[in-house]
Amino acid sequence: MTCVPGKPVVDQAPPSGREMVIIAAGLTVVCLVAAMILGGLYFVTQPAKEHNLHVREETMIRGLLGLTPQARIQEVRRYLKREGKDTQVIYLTGKKLAQLELDGKELAALDVPGDVTAAGSAEAKDEWVKKQIKVADPEHLKYAGRFFVGIEGSQPAGYVVEGVTLGFKTWVRFFMAIDSSYTIQGVEIIEHEEDPGLGAEIVQRYFKNQFAGRSLADIEKISVIKDPLPKDWQTALEQLGDMPFRPWAEKYREMLPKNPNIYAITGSTISSTAVTVGVKAALGNFRKRMNIVEKYL
């Protein structure tokens, strides 16, 4: 025992077995109560969180496509089933659950119940798909992306594709709106962790709206350049959002050919390039997939 000058030496016996049990029981009760409180809070708040996310996404999709309040939005979810060397693609649309080979050959197609189509929860849809698609190991069936169809009356009014690309720091998630001819109507950045004042500028109109009005052929050959953004083009880009896409595209249609490339954000060429690469990949992949999934919509 170490003696401290000026302080009396106190002999303290270690806790008895009974005291140890009481301490352990007390800690266990505290942990259980804390877990119950956290679980209760999650149970209460999670549905509201999912609802708010659903409303936010729907509002964004309607804005990107210029949909009327009467229009419907249909989500299409994509899954990959991998067992050994066999890989299959599964699409969950509002009407069908289509199980396909990689080349698009249909293996099976099931009707989707109305309650699954109407479910706002992605978890509910994924659980239903897992029950229909039999796999030896749950890890063999993975969610692999989604897109949305805006429907006016009975006709598609446009599509919104969710894309992911690797930015300067981490992943950047975005929505890209396109019409039936694969012309981009707008891009919205959903989630990112780019540096404030630099890469975070990808959310600004002067950058993200540079993709609007570009055809598939335009996007396939588009590049990122470090030239200063022309003032008149920036002024035009800032107006998309206040103006719907079609009037905007008509008003500034002569400016698009004069600005065929993407002007990088000053000091953030990597972030600018990342979004451009992501948009290119998302648009190209969507065109290929639509050739397969269109008949199931």
Summarize pLDDT for 83-110 with one digit per residue, the tens: 988 999 999 999 999 999 999 999 999 9
Residue 30 has pLDDT above 90, yes or no: no
The residue among 234 and 48 whose pLDDT is bigger is 234
Q: How sure is the predictor about 10, in pLDDT bands with cuts at 50, 70 and 90?
A: low
| AA identity, residue 81 | K
pLDDT tens digit sequence for 127-147 = 999 999 989 899 999 999 999
pTM of the model: 0.81
Using the predicted structure, report yes or no on whether residue 170 has a pLDDT greater than 90.
yes
49, pLDDT greater than 60: no
Q: Provide the pLDDT for residue 120.
A: 77
Whether the Cβ atoms of residue 210 and residue 216 lie closer than 8 Å to each other: no
Q: Please report the pLDDT score of residue 37 as a whole number.
A: 76
Q: So what's the pLDDT on residue 219?
A: 96
Residue 15 has pLDDT above 80, yes or no: no
**C-alpha distances in angstroms, 167 versus 25, 192, 275, 278?**
48, 8, 7, 9
Cα–Cα distance between 65 and 146 in angstroms, integer? 17
pLDDT by residue (tens digit) across 60-78? 999 999 999 999 999 999 9
Q: Where are the domains of the chain?
A: 72-146, 153-297
CA 217 – CA 36 distance, rounded (Å): 56
Using alpha carbons only, what angle is made at residue 249 by residues 148 and 268, rounded to the nearest 5 degrees? 75
Residue 246 has pLDDT above 70, yes or no: yes
- pLDDT tops 60 at residue 253: yes
Helix (H) or strand (E) holding 122: helix 122-132
Convert the pLDDT of each residue in 263-279 to its tens digit. 999 999 999 999 999 99
